[in-house]
Amino acid sequence: MIDPSLTVDGDSFNGHLQDIELLIESAGLLFEPHAVTSIEMGDSSLFIQRGEHQWRIGSSLLGHQNLESHEVYVDFEPSEQSRVDATAVECTYIAVGVYSAKTTFDRVLSSDGASLAKVEARDLDRSRQWQYLGYVVGLIVHQFAFDDAVLIARSLLDVSRGTWPISYAQFARTHEPTKQISIGKAESDSQATLPFPKLIHQDIGLYPVVESVEWVKKLLELGVKTLQLRIKDPAVPHLEESIKDAIDEAKRYGAQLFINDYWELACKYNAYGVHLGQEDLLTADLVLLKKKQVRLGLSTHGYYELLRAASLSPSYIALGHIFPTTTKQMPSLPQGLNRLKRYQELVNTLPTAQRLEVGYPTVAIGGINLENASKVLKCGVTTVAVVRAVTESLDLSKTLDQFGQLLERPRGDSDANG
């Protein structure tokens, strides 16, 4: 908790910062309790100390316009430059209330000028600017991603005081329509809003993620019905041949095989499914995947990415990474069980395109094994994805049976701390 004796200038900014920290804590979403140790207001910056790291945060509310000297800059009077296209900035830049012909939105730009997020929003009343700044800053220093901080801060202004947003209706809609993502040929635009095909086997079972066709064959022989081929090195010998071989084998067993990343090869050989990360959405031809009736799984690491994924109506949504993992370089911190449970609550309310239902199948991934899988499943996810728990197993058949038993058990509310 922030020391209540700490004070800063600026229309009870400190109070708003304390409010958001209490709310994060009450929602069970603090990564490191008691992490913020000091807050100072300089002539033109906020200095916030969390552990060994100090954040220098600027804002147009403080009358300072030098982006170069800050890690985060929140601009309530965005320039014409920020209203058009992303341009290189020296820090993470949050522009509040950017106007376009159709809507008002907040934009998050990274230090390399890439647009991290656009959150659709109403005009922000001047009386609430300090509150909004306090919420954004509080979320960032408590290790929420920048895009999540903006999304959550906006939604908190519209929900009852002291209430953490849970449902789709409580969140500001992301301004990331399919037109901002590669969808292929122009004449295919009308197909951009169509949903991806549903999974044939809605009871997914255990979802192993393996890096070779040999592992795919071994798991298929043991009865696994859903799995992913994730070949990390694009220069691996016989890459295309391996992917084709894996796809053919999965078809022979009637299994749901997802190819990670290599969507062109997946289309070429009529794969059952493709799994993509958020960054892959900028280059993958989603319309072609739909034409080929390829199922789509999408990785997410927070609220913003969840809503962005849902806007594409995928076949399933992956939530991660839950625990520390060494199998892949991750762009975010381990999310933990409490955040996983919150993400699943949101998924349960997500409307699906052209379907008279809500929610998507979900796959939790990241550091999951036999010891912690039951706690993960109690968060309400459809299933769990595993890597080392399978590939390093000393008795693979027994391990698969044990996971199968866990997946068949009734699931209650998670009482685990994450």
E-assigned strand segments in 80-206 = 92-99, 104-109, 115-121
DSSP string covering 25-64: HHTT--SSTT-EEEEEE-SS-EEEEETTEEEEEEEGGGT-
3-state secondary structure of 365: strand
Residue among 273, 224, 222, 225 nearest 247 (CA): 273
Angle at 101 between CA 182 and CA 99, to 5 degrees: 95
Round to the nearest angstrom and report the end-to-end CA distance of the chain. Answer: 18
Helix H or strand E segment including 210: strand 207-210
Give the residue numbers of the binding site for Mg(2+): 261, 280
Residue 5 makes CB contacts below 8 A (sequence gap 6+) with none
Residue among 298, 312, 289, 219 nearest 257 (CA): 219
Give the residue numbers of the binding site: 228-232, 260-261, 280, 299, 325-328, 367
Specify whether the CB–CB gap between 247 and 259 falls below 8 A.
yes
Residue among 54, 90, 53 nearest 73 (CA): 90
